[in-house]
Amino acid sequence: MTKQRTLPTRGFGAEPGMPDIPMLAAWVAEHRGKSGDLISFRLDQSLTPQISAGITMPCSGGKFYQDRIMACLDGIQDNQAVDEISIRTSAIIEDAVSIVAQKKGVWCALPAPHTLGIRDSYYDDEDEWTDAITGVYRNLMRSMRDAGINGHVLICDKVDDAEISSLARQKVFFFQPEPDRDGLQSLMEYQRQVAISPAQLDIVFDIANEYELHEIIILDTDKASIAVALSHLDPDQVVVGGYCRGDCEKYWRSIVEYAVYTA
């Protein structure tokens, strides 16, 4: 007898648009008495629709959080490292506290270090620069975890082997929205989970035997892709994932709807 079952769902952040004045004014009025700015608003907007839709593992943040990171970095001038870099974490901790107030156990998405586009004009050594910028990220993420954030998604434009070897941990997930085969292999070298589009299922199954793969997260999936995944893997190894760049209310509801399958 067939029965409907539901796969877990996971968010990898969102890129909410800039608000118009009435929307921002309404948000400020709702949060009167609390500190906040435009980044705080976007953190809220990235997370709230996931909670409303019932995403199993929601994730606040996105690449837009670059603005907060850059504002908190010392040693940077005109997007160049001109001195030893460090990060002031007070505003970042406030963000974490605000996120956790909405949902305990939530993750937070950040742009990966290379996406900041900072040029090194101080260290003059690639290894030293990598050690410096990844050290800043470890400090940033540790501060947020101490405030209650469960873990971090680092959103990549490319898979940077130096960054991933330095930062990949159980509570740090490197996420590239559209990795190629080489990128997937690099990700699977360091992570037991990988997020992919339905079109990449064949690639993952082709190379999976070379790696210790525990779980796949299928982004923006459909019923056919879930069926393919479940023909290769157990249900507890398959997750339905999303990274919103549009109408997030509708988007996250669709993610939850597609997580239902018949077994």
Contact (Cβ atoms closer than 8 angstroms) between residue 179 and residue 189 = no
Identify the CA nearest to 58 among candidates 196, 257, 258, 252. 252
How much of the chain, in percent, has pLDDT values that exceed 90? Answer: 85
The pTM of the full predicted model, rounded to 2 decimals, is: 0.93
Q: Give 89's pLDDT tier (boundaries 50, 70, 90).
A: very high
> 173: pLDDT confidence band, cut at 50, 70 and 90?
very high
What is the total count of domains within the chain?
1
Mean pLDDT for the chain? 92
Write the pLDDT tens digit of every residue in 99-127.
999 999 999 999 999 999 999 999 999 99
What pLDDT, in 10s, does the model give residues 174-201? 999 888 999 999 999 999 999 999 999 9
The CA–CA distances, whole Å, from 108 to 16, 45, 174, 199 equal 14, 13, 12, 26
The boundaries of the domain holding residue 214 are 4-262
Distance CA 199, CA 180 (A): 11
CATH number at residue 178: 3.20.20.210
pLDDT category of residue 17 using cuts at 50, 70 and 90: confident
